[in-house]
């Protein structure tokens, strides 16, 4: 259920003004929707900066590399903002690498290359631009990387991504550290694979890595995974293999409803205390947050098209759909939905499913929501800054949304809305 006067989860820069208008920083969201059209993604610069600052506070005094996970939101405006605030970047594709190079002026020295399916061409390009480290996910990848690096006269800095078999207590689709997941090298194989890596020409072992999942709302899974990594670090030292950095990945959750994830700085204090207690306090701590930096910073604006009563439930049909925001259909994710202009207290509220125009019964943004709306009103889907626009598609031949970045009472379009002709510009008709 939702109410225009309900608390707005996890959104310190989202509030209603005295007239009941929903404001992101100093910008009126209903006005932005009417100026730029809908669906429309809007992001808060201040929210992103504040979230990053919490990590930076927690890491103060500890050698570290803090890399933003580009897959969460890869808009160039967002990346440029984070680069200017001192973040490095975690990438999982050649395309993400090129985005980062675009905003850093070609500097890849603070880039970590993760992902299970790197190709030889991906590796060669990353070696040419000098990424900080490859997080290697399999023995076959290790062999290919050594071959590619030796072939082009480079030495690849490597960290093995270890699968520690730790339950992150999150949705199974975004769990990545269990034996049943496709990610990483089994904990029991780690020592042997590190020994192989230390013998291969073209490779230089620099670190150890794990990433156990996303939307994690407890500290214990991070600490358990860290302990399992440090056990391996000790075993590697006995085998004569030095580890210079420990990478705990990302995955810290955000508040969508009533979740209470630990604050980033509080979590990092626990992590660093554990590092020091285990005798590894001098090692560099690397991590790759994504959702926790941008998730609560964004909203998706959508216009109500119809209010449709039904025999068993009512429907609020909007112009955003599962192609714009896949999380509800994919994960049954709950995201708060609220009116951009608060209706009068006397306005009757109806319980409705908020659905889009795509021809799928799975095309819904929210179920069982209490709303007082009519055609033409603007709704905001909150906490939509991560895994929103990056997962958008053109299903049903629908153009993707525009994106706006706000700063104070000003804003800038950071992605123009697609035009329909863009959708078939690369298709070739039969002669």
46-293 maps to CATH 3.10.310.30: no
User: Across 92-150, where does the E strand assignment appear?
Assistant: 111-113, 133-136
Residue-wise pLDDT tens digits, 390-418:
999 999 999 999 999 999 999 999 999 99
pLDDT score for 411 = 98
Parse the chain into domains and list their residue ranges. Answer: 14-44+295-416, 46-293
3, pLDDT greater than 70: no
DSSP string of 100-115, one letter each residue = HHHHHTT--TTEEE--
Residue-wise pLDDT tens digits, 302-338:
999 999 998 899 999 999 999 999 999 998 999 999 9
279, pLDDT greater than 50: yes
pLDDT score for 311 = 86
Burial 379-417 (b: 16+ CB within 10 A, else e): bbbbbbbbbbbbebeeeeebbbbbbbbbbeeebeebbeb
Residues, the chain, total? 431
Distances (CA, A) of 69 to 13, 93, 214, 293, 406: 22, 11, 11, 9, 21
Quote the tokens at residue 186: 């089994």
Higher pLDDT, 67 or 174: 67
Quote the tokens at residue 268: 């990092």
11, pLDDT greater than 90: no
Q: Which CATH class is domain 14-44+295-416?
A: mainly beta
177, pLDDT greater than 90: no
Has 359 been annotated as catalytic?
yes
pLDDT score for 135 = 97
pTM of the model: 0.94
Using alpha carbons only, give the angle 330, 332, 333 rounded to the nearest 5 degrees: 100
pLDDT score for 178 = 47
Mean pLDDT of 358-371: 96
Provide the 3-class DSSP secondary structure of residue 389: helix
pLDDT score for 71 = 97
User: Across 152-210, where does the E strand assignment appear?
Assistant: 156-163, 185-186, 203-209
């Amino acid at each position: 259920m939702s109410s225009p006067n309900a608390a707005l989860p996890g959104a310190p820069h989202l509030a209603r003004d005295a007239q009941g208008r929903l404001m992101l920083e100093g910008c009126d969201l209903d006005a932005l929707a009417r100026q730029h059209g809908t669906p429309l993604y809007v992001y808060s610069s201040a929210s992103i900066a504040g979230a990053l600052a919490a990590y930076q506070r927690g890491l103060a005094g500890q050698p570290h590399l803090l890399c933003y996970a580009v897959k969460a939101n890869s808009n160039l405006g967002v990346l440029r903002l984070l680069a200017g605030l001192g973040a490095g970047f975690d990438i999982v594709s050649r395309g993400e690498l090129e985005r980062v190079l675009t905003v850093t002026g070609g500097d890849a020295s603070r880039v970590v290359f993760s992902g299970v399916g790197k190709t030889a061409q991906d590796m060669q390009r990353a070696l040419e631009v000098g990424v900080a480290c490859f997080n290697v996910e399999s023995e076959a990848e290790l062999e290919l990387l050594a071959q590619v690096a030796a072939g082009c006269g480079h030495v690849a800095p490597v960290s093995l991504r270890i699968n520690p078999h730790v339950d992150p207590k999150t949705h199974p689709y975004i769990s990545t550290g269990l034996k049943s997941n496709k990610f990483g090298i089994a904990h029991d194989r780690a020592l042997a694979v590190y020994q192989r890596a230390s013998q291969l020409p073209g490779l230089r072992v620099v670190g150890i890595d794990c990433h156990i999942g996303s939307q994690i709302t407890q500290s214990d899974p991070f600490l358990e995974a860290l302990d399992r990594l440090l056990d391996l670090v000790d075993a590697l030292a006995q085998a004569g293999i030095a580890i210079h950095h420990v990478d705990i990945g990302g995955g810290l959750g955000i508040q969508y409803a009533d979740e209470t994830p630990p604050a980033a700085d509080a979590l990092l204090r626990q992590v660093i205390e554990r590092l020091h207690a285990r005798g590894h306090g001098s090692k560099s701590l690397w991590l790759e947050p994504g959702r926790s930096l941008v998730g609560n910073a964004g909203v998706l604006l959508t216009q109500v098209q119809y209010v449709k009563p039904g025999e068993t439930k009512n429907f609020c049909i909007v112009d955003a759909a599962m192609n714009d925001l896949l999380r509800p259909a994919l994960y049954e994710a709950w995201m708060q939905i609220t009116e951009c202009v608060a209706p009068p207290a006397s306005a009757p509220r109806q319980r409705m499913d908020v659905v889009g125009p795509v021809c799928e019964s799975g095309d819904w943004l929210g179920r069982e929501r209490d709303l007082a709306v009519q055609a033409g009103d603007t709704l905001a889907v909150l906490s939509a800054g991560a895994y929103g626009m990056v997962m958008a598609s053109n299903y049903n031949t629908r153009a993707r949304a525009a994106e706006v970045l706000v700063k104070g009472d000003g804003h800038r379009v950071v992605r123009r809305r697609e035009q329909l002709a863009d959708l078939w510009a690369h298709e070739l008709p039969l002669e």
